[in-house]
């Protein structure tokens, strides 16, 4: 397999400031196609994507699980692996090559680099990577990748308002341990900067615990927003 046989699917909603860099990073990593799935942006997200040469634009209902599944249905028949990339993330040049060099890989994610020099983010990166290794739960901002046939066989993501990445990880880890590749994927620090690193991290833990205890994704989504 070569990077040209890997598709990158990017869900968007009002991401005109970030989408160009995300698309460019995917092509620079060697992706054979980049599929943008827009959930109804009111800014220039789609126009920016088209200017950057995105392979396909798919219009979808909003909701990350819905959008990710919609994008996967448009992956070309010759593509073997799908990478799901957040619009404010960027792949580095070696990410897709690492997938190609991994033997018997079914699914996984990448180590992160958060785009801030603040030392506290190094702890966040370490904790996120440790979660994948110990709990086998990658998050969406670690650019989850999966063999296309395995993704389709399992029915894709749950189309829920939030926690679709955790639900997907729980489903996939029953049969295969996720592969954590060195990447890295570069992550925009805007979420942490908006609320503060400690507050955002504690909120993430609280929402994850609520989901694990059975609180519905609809209620969790309302809390989050």
Answer for the pair 5, 76: CB distance below 8 angstroms, yes or no: no
What percent of the chain shows pLDDT beyond 90?
Answer: 83
Predicted structure pTM score: 0.94
Answer for the pair 178, 102: CB distance below 8 angstroms, yes or no: no
Q: CATH number of the domain at 3-190, please? A: 3.90.550.10
DSSP-derived secondary structure for 22-53 = HHHHHHHTT-SEEEEEES--SSSHHHHHHHTT
- pLDDT tens-digit map of 160-175: 988 999 999 999 999 8
pLDDT of residue 203: 85
pLDDT of residue 8: 98
Residue 223 host element (H or E): helix 217-224
Backbone angles phi, psi at 83, to 5 degrees: -110, 125
- pLDDT tens-digit map of 87-116: 999 999 999 999 999 999 999 999 999 999
Q: How far apart are CA 27 and CA 195, in angstroms?
A: 32
Answer for the pair 215, 224: CB distance below 8 angstroms, yes or no: no
Strands ordered across the beta sheet of 56-59: 56-59, 33-38, 6-12, 81-84, 145-147, 107-114, 179-187, 89-91
């Amino acid at each position: 397999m070569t990077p040209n046989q890997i598709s990158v699917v990017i869900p968007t909603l009002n991401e005109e400031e970030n989408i160009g860099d995300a698309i460019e990073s995917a092509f620079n990593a060697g992706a054979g196609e980049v599929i943008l799935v827009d959930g109804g942006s009111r800014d220039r997200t789609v126009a920016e994507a088209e200017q950057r040469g995105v392979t396909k634009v798919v219009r979808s209902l909003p909701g990350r699980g819905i959008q990710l599944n919609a994008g996967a249905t448009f992956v070309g028949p010759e593509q073997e692996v799908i990478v799901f990339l957040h619009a404010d993330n960027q792949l580095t040049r070696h990410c897709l090559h690492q997938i190609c060099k991994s033997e018997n890989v079914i699914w996984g994610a990448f180590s992160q680099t958060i785009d801030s020099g603040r030392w506290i983010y190094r702890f966040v990166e370490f904790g996120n990577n440790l979660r994948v290794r110990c709990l086998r739960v990658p998050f969406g901002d670690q650019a989850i990748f999966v063999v296309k046939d395995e993704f389709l066989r399992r029915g894709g993501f749950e189309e829920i308002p939030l926690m679709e990445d955790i639900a997907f990880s729980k489903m996939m880890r029953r049969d295969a341990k996720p592969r954590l590749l060195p990447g890295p994927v570069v992550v925009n620090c805007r979420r942490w900067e908006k609320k503060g690193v400690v507050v955002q991290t504690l909120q993430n833990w609280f929402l994850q615990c609520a989901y694990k205890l059975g609180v519905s994704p609809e209620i969790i989504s309302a809390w989050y927003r």
